[in-house]
Amino acid sequence: MFEDFFKVVKQRFNDGIDEDEHKIVKCPRCQNNIFLERYEELHRVCPNCNYHGRLSVSERIDITVDKNSFRELDADMISGNPIDFPLYTEKQQELREKTGLKDAVVTGTAEIKGSPTVIGVMDSRYMMGSMGSVAGEKIARAFEYATENSLPVIMFTASGGARMQEGIVSLMQMAKTAGAVKFHSDNGGLYITVMTDPTTGGVTASFASLGDIIIAEPKVLIGFAGRRVIEGTIKQKLPDDFQLAEFQHEKGFVDMIVERRKMRSTLSHLLKLHGYYPQEKEV
């Protein structure tokens, strides 16, 4: 079902952090070539077609929340190996060292132009942002924390879907996260999803699609089934714009498409419209 996301996605920009700055990267949407240095200056937005490329967690937090306001929750949580999948533990160890991340999602509290919020950011560099036990647990806890403290939640989603190496346990994280979202919602909490590249599979089919407000960045991939799986079913090639943010917007599954440079102010306005104003600081 999610078969081909992995392959397709790997061929696109490899938004590594340790690449040579004179390196040229190719836009996965328009095939335009651009110097990595310039691309980074543009916060990884293609100057030719406006595709919004993948950011690391720290880049995302830096451009979204108030300086020094981010406090991470569950910072030390790492994955077990629930189905004893061969080499899974070793691969995790390697990835943690390589990326500096503990798993595919980072959660915490922060302020956006003074408005307090819980925030979660997924990182596609960590096993394609796939959701396993750690992502499920951290996201559920983030929503529970927000429910207890009457805070809104903003989730930046980026995922190839379920973490295959955790088998059925990864599937159950969909129920865990969707359940936590539902209780937060029933308690009157605001939840804003920001879909970034790519938002697919089991993440689309759980917490990502449950936002009160769903925002997407331009030209990002959003869908449930993999493009090649569908092409295999229908035996023909799909149009280039299939499953892009603009497609989902037209079909009614995305409220608004917001450019990266306007994201922070948009989120700030939306928080305030829902009564989440800057809190008075103790002097």
Q: Which residues of this chain interact with Zn ion, rule CB under 5 A?
A: 27, 29-30, 32, 46, 48-49, 51
CA distance 217 to 279: 29
Span of 55-63, 148-156, 200-208, 268-276 interacting with another protein by CB under 8 A: 200-208
* Residue of 55, 207, 218, 263 that binds another protein (CB under 8 A): 207
Interaction residues for another protein, span 60-89 (CB under 8 A): 74, 76-83, 85-86
The per-residue b/e assignment along 207-239, b for 16 or more CB within 10 angstroms, e otherwise, is: bbbbbbbbbbbbbbbbbbbbbeebeeeeeeeee
Binding residues for another protein, total number by CB under 8 A: 66
Instruction: Work out the angle between the directed axes of helices 133-148 and 167-186 (0-180°, nearest 10).
Output: 10
Q: Taking the complex as a whole, how short is the minimal distance between the CB of residue 267 and another protein, in angstroms?
A: 22
The number of CA neighbours under 13 Å toward the Cβ of 147 is: 15
Start-to-end CA span in the chain (Å): 55
Residue 220 touches another protein, criterion: CB under 8 A? no
Q: Which is nearer to Zn ion, 39 or 143 (CB)?
A: 39
Q: Taking the complex as a whole, how short is the minimal distance between the CB of residue 154 and another protein, in angstroms?
A: 17
Span of 19-27, 46-54, 111-119, 131-139 interacting with another protein by CB under 8 A: 131-139
Residue 157 touches another protein, criterion: CB under 8 A? no
Contact 165, 92 (CB under 8 A): no
